Amino acid sequence: MGINTFDPRTKLALGVMGIATILITGDTWPLVVELCLIFTGLFLVKGAKPMRALKLILPLVGLVFVIGIISFPPETAVKLALRLFNLLAVSALFFQAMDPAELGDGFRKIGFPYEFSFILTTSLRYVPLIGRRIRLIMDAQRARGIDLRPRIRNIPRFLALLMPLLVQAFVLAEQLAMAMESRGFARKGRTFRRQYRITPKEYIIMALALGILVIFFAWQKGWWAP
């Protein structure tokens, strides 16, 4: 029974506890240990693509580290960079283990309104779609001889990317609105496509994770020393 088979509420609880653990970590070596655990999780989760996620994370983490080196002592800069990297990496692990539909169902099971879960899942699904549209527009404009590479001299040419993208975004929004209206979006009494149930094993895992979080928090605050 892998994490991919867990109930969405279990995944949400574990994700929140993972983020809380990173936020309360104050020393460098626990952050390094957390980083190793996250890397292990990224490779264990079925379908995970850690290298692609790291390519998006590393530039931002590097920028934070450079700013930290300029503004703070080196140890503080390392902590800031590690904490940011861990937060982004655990978020990547969370989204690798849960697709948008499961995420929306999880929030609905907790008690959030359907409109909130719909907005959340739609935005997550549209991010990769917009990314593909951007690549297609850039390829089309490059075929016309328009250089859209990220260079200062190319800034005036970015309108050749932004205007078609804006038009396509409006078209997608109109198509979505028509689809929602035709399917009776405002209708009450919606049901779930899948039946979810938290198993006793998942309750035990969440209880253990919560206990570890409480002990770690007490240790970080100096209330309890191992």
Can you tell me which residue has the tokens 């593909």? Answer: 132
Alpha-carbon Rg of the chain, whole angstroms?
Answer: 22
User: Within this chain, do residues 86 and 41 fall inside the same structural domain, yes or no?
Assistant: yes
Q: Which two tokens stand for residue 153?
A: 């001299």
Confidence bin at 3 (pLDDT 50/70/90): low
Domain-embedded: residue 175: yes
d(CA 102, CA 149): 37
Domain-embedded: residue 192: no
d(CA 210, CA 117): 25
User: Within this chain, do residues 14 and 89 fall inside the same structural domain, yes or no?
Assistant: yes
Lowest mean pLDDT among 16-25, 53-62, 97-106, 207-216: 53-62
Domain-embedded: residue 11: yes
Summarised one tens digit per residue, pLDDT across range 19-34 is 898 888 888 888 888 8
List the alpha helices (DSSP H) in 27-113. Answer: 28-44, 50-71, 74-97, 100-110
User: Within this chain, do residues 28 and 68 fall inside the same structural domain, yes or no?
Assistant: yes
* Residue 111 CB partners (closer than 8 Å, separation 6+): none
Contact (Cβ atoms closer than 8 angstroms) between residue 37 and residue 212? no
User: Within this chain, do residues 43 and 126 fall inside the same structural domain, yes or no?
Assistant: no
User: Within this chain, do residues 123 and 66 fall inside the same structural domain, yes or no?
Assistant: no
User: Within this chain, do residues 64 and 111 fall inside the same structural domain, yes or no?
Assistant: no
Summarised one tens digit per residue, pLDDT across range 200-216 is 888 999 999 999 888 88
User: Within this chain, do residues 59 and 86 fall inside the same structural domain, yes or no?
Assistant: yes
Domain-embedded: residue 31: yes
Domain-embedded: residue 193: no
Domain-embedded: residue 160: yes
Domain span at residue 85 reads: 3-98+204-220
User: Within this chain, do residues 115 and 176 fall inside the same structural domain, yes or no?
Assistant: yes
Summarised one tens digit per residue, pLDDT across range 126-161 is 877 887 888 888 888 888 888 777 777 777 778 888
Count of structural domains, the chain: 2
Amino acid at position 188, single letter: K
d(CA 36, CA 24): 17
User: Within this chain, do residues 83 and 113 fall inside the same structural domain, yes or no?
Assistant: no
Selected residue with higher pLDDT from 2 and 155: 155
The pLDDT of residue 53 is: 61
Domain-embedded: residue 226: no
Domain-embedded: residue 94: yes
User: Within this chain, do residues 9 and 63 fall inside the same structural domain, yes or no?
Assistant: yes
Average pLDDT score, the chain = 80
114-120 mean pLDDT: 80
The pLDDT of residue 208 is: 92
* Residue 48 clears pLDDT 60, i.e. is over it: no
38-64 mean pLDDT: 69
* Residue 225 clears pLDDT 60, i.e. is over it: no
Contact (Cβ atoms closer than 8 angstroms) between residue 15 and residue 45? no
Q: At what angle do helices 8-24 and 28-44 cross, to 10 degrees?
A: 160
Selected residue with higher pLDDT from 153 and 54: 153
User: Within this chain, do residues 25 and 72 fall inside the same structural domain, yes or no?
Assistant: yes
